[in-house]
Structure 1
Amino acid sequence: MKSKWVLLFLMIFQLGFQIMHCSVTYDNKAIVINGERRILISGSIHYTRSTPEMWEDLVKKAKDGGLDVIDTYVFWNVHEPSPGNYNFEGRYDLVRFLKTVQKAGMYVHLRIGPYVCAEWNFGGFPVWLKYVPGISFRTDNEPFKRAMKGFTEKIVNLMKSAKMFESQGGPIILSQVENEYGSVGKAYGGDGLNYMKWAANMAVGLGTGVPWVMCKEDDAPDPIINTCNGFYCDEFSPNKPYKPTLWTEAWSGWFTEFGGPVYERPVQDLAFGVARFIQKGGSFVNYYMYHGGTNFGRSSGGPFITTTYDYDAPIDEYGLIRQPKYGHLKELHTVIKQCEPALVSVDPVITTLGSLQQAHVFSPDSRPCAAFLSNYDPNNIAKVTFNNKHYTLSPWSISILPDCNNVAFNTAQVGVESTQLEMLVSDSKMFSWETFTEDLTVSDEGSMFTATGLLEQINVTRDTSDYLWYTTSVDIDSSESFLRGGELPKLLVQSSGHVLHVFINGEHSGSGFGSRKHRKVTYKENINLRAGSNKIALLSVAMGLPNIGGHYEEWETGVLGPVALYGLNQGKRDLSWANWTYQAGLKGEAMNIISSNARSSIKWMQDSLITQKPPPLTWHKAYFNAPDGDEPLALDMKSMGKGEAWVNGQSIGRYWTTFANGDCQGCHYAGTYRPLTCQIGCGQPTQRWYHVPRSWLKSTNNLLVLFEELGGDPSMVSLVKRSMVQ
C-alpha cells in the first residue's frame, strides 16, 4: 500500500514538474520560460524557402551561431491551395520542420498571421480568397474574418495534435497573429481598429498556452505583446509597462528586385543595432533573415521580387555560412549571454561619457555587473573614462563589458576572417538539347473564350499561370496609305503590368516591361499590318502578385487599356471594346512539357538543326548528370533572357537577366536611424545564378526544361557549384 502512495506522489510530482517545465509567460523585462527570464536570440528561417533535406543543417548552424529560437511564418496559400484542401507535405511539412528545431533543443516563434507579407505571392493569402463573395481583406469584414479564423484554428489544432506548443512540452514559445498591421489599420479607421481587436481576441481564445504578439501594432490589446520591426528598434517601447521589449524583425539586409541592385548590410552596423537594442532593455531579437533561401516556383510576390531571397543573411541562400557576418554575430551572442543575469534583473543606469557617448550599466545587487559603452559618432573615435578606467571606442560602435571592467566585444571591430563564396564551374555538362516553339497560329479551342472588352488578368487565370493571351482581329482596307509606302501605323497598348509581349500575325513585334516601382507598361510602336485580316496577340505576363498595401486584393493586372491603332486613314481606331479571345497559360504548360512523361505529341527539334537564334516563346530541354561532391548547385543563366526553369519537374523559379540600373551608392549612413547599407551590382544582371537543390537530382539523366520568352541562348547554360574560397 505504501508503495502505491509513493508511486502516486511521484506521478503528481512529475506532473507538476511537467506543468512547470512547460510554462511560458512574460513580465516587463523578458519572456519567462519555466519561471526564468530569458534573453532570447532568434533567426528567421522559412521552411518553404528551402528543402527538408536542408533543414537539419540550417537549424544546426543557427544553434551553433548562438541562436535560441527559430522564427517562421506560416504560408496559407501553400497549405490550402483550394478551399478545404490542405497540403503539409514536402517543403510544406510544417510539423517536420518544427520537430527538426525541437530536436536541436531550440525554441520556435510561429508567426501564423495568416497575412505574412514576406515578399511572398499575394502576401501569403490563397488567390481563391479574393473570390469569396463579399470579402474585403484585413478589415472588419465577416467573410474575411470567418476564413482567417478557420485557417488560424487549423494551424493551432495541427500544432496541438503534434504537441508543438511549449505548454505541451513542444518548442513553440511565441505565436503571432496578423503582421505589420498598424499603418494599414489606421488607414481603415474604426473598421481597422475593430478588426485588430477581433484578431487579438480570436487568437487568445484558441488557448495555446503561450503568449501572442503583434508586430508594428501600437494598439495591440492585452495580453498581446506589441513588437518592433526595422533596421533599428532601440527607441521602441511596448504599449504597457508590464510587457517586454521584443524586436521581431532585425533586418539583416534587404530583398532584391529584378532590375535593382543587391543590398548588403555590414555586420558591424547590424551588431551595433542589436547591442543598442539590448542595452536599452530589449530582451528578444529576431534576425530577418538568418537564412533567406529561395523563392521556388511562382512564390515570389511584390511583384518583381527575384528568385533569390538571400537577404545578405548570416547563412546564405544555399545554406553556406557567410563570414564575417555569421561569426561576428556569434561572438556578440556569446557576450550577450554572459551579461544575461544582469540584463534580466535590473534596468540600466545611463550616464553621459561625452557629447555622443553613453554608458548603460546593469548592476544587480547579487549578480555580476554588465556595461555597454556607446559611441554614436559615425566618423570619429572617442576616448572615454568609465569607472576610473580609460577606453577607446570605435566610431558608431558599442563595447560590451560583461564584468563592467574588461571589453569582451566591440561591434565595430571584426576579428572573424572573411571568406568568399564563389560559383565554380562543375564537371556536369548539358546534353541532348531540344527545342519546342509555342505555335501562335494554332489555338487550344477548349481553353479559349471570347468576350467584348478587356478583362483583368487574375480574374481569368486565377493565378494558375503567369501568362494570359489577349487576341483580336483587325481588318485593314487596301486603300490605307501605309500600304502604299506611307508611315506605318502605331499600336498603343497600356497594361497594368507587369510584362507585355506583342505579336502581329504571329511575328514578335516588341515587348514592354514594368518594374516594382512602376508596374504599368505602355507599349507604343509602329507595327506591320497587311491588307485584309490581321491578328493582334498580346501576351500579358505576371511577375508575382502584390503582397503589401491597403486592399491590395483590388490591384489589377493585365491589359486593361486603352488599346488603339493610330495612323490609319480614318484616324484612331480604339480596340479596347473589340471582341477579344482569351487563353490562360501556354500550350507547353497545358501539355505538361516540364515532365519526363509529357505528351508524346510534342514535336521537339534538336538544337543542332536550328540555324539561327530561337524565336521568343520557346521551350528548351536538356539532360545532365549530377556532379560529384556535396557543394550546393546553381544554374548559370547569364545567356538567357526571361522565363522559368524546371529540374525534374520541380520549378526553380522565374529567371530574368535584366540588369541592375540606377546609381549604386556604395556604402553610406543614411541617418541616425537608418542603417549603413551598401548597393552593389549596378551594370550586372540582378540575378545570374539560380539554386538547384541537390535533393531534386538523380545521379544521371536529370531533365532541365526552360521556357524562354525573349530568345536566349540555352547552349551557354551551365551547372555551377557554390563554393567557399578562403
Structure 2
Amino acid sequence: MFYAEESAMKICSSEEPRIWIDTCNGFYCESFQPNKKYKPKMWTENWTGWYTEFGGPVPHRPAEDLAFSVAKFIQNGGSFVNYYMYHGGTNFGRTAGGPFIATSYDYDAPIDEFGLPREPKWGHLRDLHKAIKLCESALVSGDLTMTTLGSNQEAHVFKSKSGACTAFLANYDTKSSVKVSFGSGLYDLPPWSISILPDCRTVVFNTARLGAQSFQMNMMPVNSTFLWESYNEETVSANDDGSTEMSGLWEQINVTRDTTDYLWYMTDVKIDSDEGFLKNGQSPILTIFSAGHALHVFVNDQLSGNVYGGLENPKLTFSDSVNLRVGINQISLLSVTVGLPNVGLHFEKWNAGVLGPVMLKGLNEGTRDLSKQNWSYKIGLKGEALSLHTVSGSSSVEWVEGSLLARQQPLTWYKNTRRQ
C-alpha cells in the first residue's frame, strides 16, 4: 500500500509504519525521504508536463530537465520512478476535470494522446533508462558515497563488495559548463546536467545532451469540402416545461445534479414609468456575483454580455449597463460549469453558479437587490434535450446553411458534414 507525500491524506492506523509506504509526487523528488529507513525511496508521479487549461498556454517540460530529475533521484538513493503521464490521453465529453482543464490530457507526455512517440522526449528517456540499467549491479548492491567536485558539482558513487562501480557526476549550475576531475579523468558537464558512468570511467549518457531525433507534428489541411450548418436556440422562460420556481439563488450543481454544464436562472424586474433613467438616458447597472465558471446574461431575450473565470480563480463578476423598458423585464442568466474539481479536499464545499448578490443600481429607489426574489430555474439547453450532438438527434431540427448561417450569435449550434 502506498500514499503520496503531496496528498493531504492522514494515516491514523497504528499499523501505518509497517503497512504503508509513503512516496513522492512532483517535478523533483531527490530530497524526499521515506518515514522509515527500511522503506524504499519511491517516486510515484514524476510529472512529464502539466495539463492544459482553457485559455492558457500549452505547458512544456524539456526532455533534458525530465531526464535530469530522474538521474538526480537515482543518484540520491531512489529505487523506483513512475511517470505521470507517460502516455497522454483525451477526456471526452464532460469527463474532463477542472475547472477549466481542457479535454486534451496530452500532458506533454513521451507518448502523445494520439499514441505517437514525442521526440526527443521519448527517445531521451529510452536512452536514460538503458544507461541506468547498465548501473544495475552497483545500484542494487553497492554503498553510496558523495564527493564535492566544485561549488555546484558533485559525484555520487555506488560501489559494491563484488567490485561493481557506478558514478553520477552532477553539475547544478544552471548557466555554465564545467570541467571536473574524477578518478583518473576529466569530464565536461553541461549546465544543469548529470553524466552517468556505469563503470566509474566511461560516460554513456548525459541528461543535457540529446541523442534522440527531434520532430514536430504539423496539422495539414485535407482535400475535402466541409458543409457548415447552424441552428439557433431561443432563450428559455419561466413558463417553459421543466422550469422550477424557488425563492432566492441556488447553487448550480445542487440543482443540476451534474447532469449538464448549463443552468438557467430567471427572474422578473418591474420598471415603473416614472423611473428617472427613462428620461436621462443613464441605463441602470446590473451587477452579478457568481461562483463560476462562465455566465451569459440576457435581458428580454437579448444578450447583454458574458464573463468567465479561470483556473486560478473560477469566481466571476458581471457589471454592465442594461436596457430596461417600462413594465416587466426578464433577466435570464445562463450559468456554465467548465469541468468539475478533480483534486483537492471537500468537494461538497466547492460551489458553482450564481450565488449572488445580484444588484440593479440606478433606479429611483437607489439599488435593488434581486437576490432574494423568486427565481425560476431550467436545467440544460434545448439542444442537449434534443441530442443535437448525435446523428439521430441532429435530424430533429431545421438547420440553415450558406448565407443564412448564423455568425457570432448566442445560443447557436453548428454542424459540419465532410464531403469527399
- Smaller-chain TM-score range? over 0.9
- Retained in 2: the 8 A contact 1:197–1:221? no
Displacement of 1:261 after TM fit?
A: 2.2
SS at match of 1:365: coil
- 1:378 partnered with 2:179: no
State the match for 1:275 in structure 2: 71
Q: Distance in 1 between matches of 2:134 and 2:358?
A: 67
State the match for 1:624 in structure 2: 418
SS at match of 1:291: coil
- 1:345 partnered with 2:160: no
Q: Distance in 2 between matches of 1:335 and 1:249?
A: 21
- Retained in 2: the 8 A contact 1:434–1:604? no
Q: Which structure 1 residue ranges, 5 or more long, are not aligned? A: 1-174, 186-192, 202-219, 628-726
Q: Given residue 414 of structure 1, which amino acid in structure 2 is its aligned partner?
A: L
Q: Distance in 1 between matches of 2:120 and 2:394?
A: 50
Within a 5 Å distance, the mapping from 1:477-492 to structure 2 comes to 477-492=272-287
Q: Distance in 2 between matches of 1:283 and 1:179?
A: 15
Q: Distance in 2 between matches of 1:331 and 1:441?
A: 59
Displacement of 1:223 after TM fit?
A: 1.8
Q: 1:221 aligns with which of 11, 17, 28?
A: 17
- 1:606 partnered with 2:396: no
Q: 1:473 aligns with which of 250, 268, 279?
A: 268
Q: Distance in 2 between matches of 1:441 and 1:310?
A: 37
**Percent identical residues:** 54
State the match for 1:504 in structure 2: 299
- Retained in 2: the 8 A contact 1:357–1:373? yes
Runs of 4+ in 1 over 3 A off after TM superposition: 178-182, 441-446
- Retained in 2: the 8 A contact 1:281–1:347? no
State the match for 1:197 in structure 2: 12
TM-score where L is the length of structure 2: 0.95
Displacement of 1:439 after TM fit?
A: 1.5
Displacement of 1:180 after TM fit?
A: 5.3
Q: Distance in 2 between matches of 1:410 and 1:522?
A: 51
- 1:495 partnered with 2:290: yes
- Retained in 1: the 8 A contact 2:146–2:154? yes
SS at match of 2:274: coil
State the match for 1:37 in structure 2: none
Displacement of 1:538 after TM fit?
A: 0.3
Displacement of 1:410 after TM fit?
A: 0.7
Cα gap change, 1:614 to 1:444, in 2 (>3 Å): farther
SS at match of 2:130: helix
SS at match of 2:18: coil
Within a 5 Å distance, the mapping from 1:370-409 to structure 2 comes to 370-409=166-205
Q: Distance in 1 between matches of 2:334 and 2:302?
A: 12
Q: Given residue 249 of structure 1, which amino acid in structure 2 is its aligned partner?
A: E
- Retained in 2: the 8 A contact 1:493–1:522? yes
Q: Distance in 1 between matches of 2:398 and 2:390?
A: 14
State the match for 1:574 in structure 2: 369
Displacement of 1:465 after TM fit?
A: 0.5
Q: Distance in 2 between matches of 1:620 and 1:476?
A: 37
Cα gap change, 1:413 to 1:444, in 2 (>3 Å): farther
Deviations 1:190-211 (A, max 9, x none): xxx4xx335x97xxxxxxxxxx
Displacement of 1:443 after TM fit?
A: 6.4
Cα gap change, 1:485 to 1:511, in 2 (>3 Å): same
Q: 1:540 aligns with which of 323, 332, 335?
A: 335
State the match for 1:159 in structure 2: none
Cα gap change, 1:394 to 1:367, in 2 (>3 Å): same
SS at match of 2:387: coil
Within a 5 Å distance, the mapping from 1:282-681 to structure 2 comes to 282-366=78-162, 368-431=164-227, 433-441=228-236, 445-598=240-393, 602-610=396-404, 613-624=407-418
Q: Distance in 1 between matches of 2:175 and 2:360?
A: 59
Displacement of 1:613 after TM fit?
A: 2.1
Within a 5 Å distance, the mapping from 1:145-184 to structure 2 comes to 176=2, 182=7, 184=8
- The structure that is helix-richer by fraction is 1
Deviations 1:255-274 (A, max 9, x none): 22122222211111111110
Cα gap change, 1:614 to 1:397, in 2 (>3 Å): closer
Q: Distance in 1 between matches of 2:4 and 2:144?
A: 31
Cα gap change, 1:391 to 1:611, in 2 (>3 Å): closer
Deviations 1:339-385 (A, max 9, x none): 11211112312222222222111121225321111111222222222
TM-score where L is the length of structure 1: 0.56
Q: Distance in 2 between matches of 1:547 and 1:310?
A: 17
Q: Given residue 551 of structure 1, which amino acid in structure 2 is its aligned partner?
A: H
Deviations 1:640-666 (A, max 9, x none): xxxxxxxxxxxxxxxxxxxxxxxxxxx
Cα gap change, 1:505 to 1:429, in 2 (>3 Å): same
Q: Given residue 41 of structure 2, which amino acid in structure 1 is its aligned partner?
A: T
SS at match of 1:491: strand
- Retained in 2: the 8 A contact 1:353–1:384? yes
SS at match of 2:344: coil
Cα gap change, 1:318 to 1:495, in 2 (>3 Å): same
- Retained in 1: the 8 A contact 2:5–2:22? no
Q: Distance in 2 between matches of 1:611 and 1:464?
A: 30
Q: Distance in 1 between matches of 2:225 and 2:133?
A: 49
Displacement of 1:578 after TM fit?
A: 0.6
Q: Distance in 2 between matches of 1:278 and 1:179?
A: 18
Displacement of 1:446 after TM fit?
A: 3.6
Displacement of 1:290 after TM fit?
A: 1.0
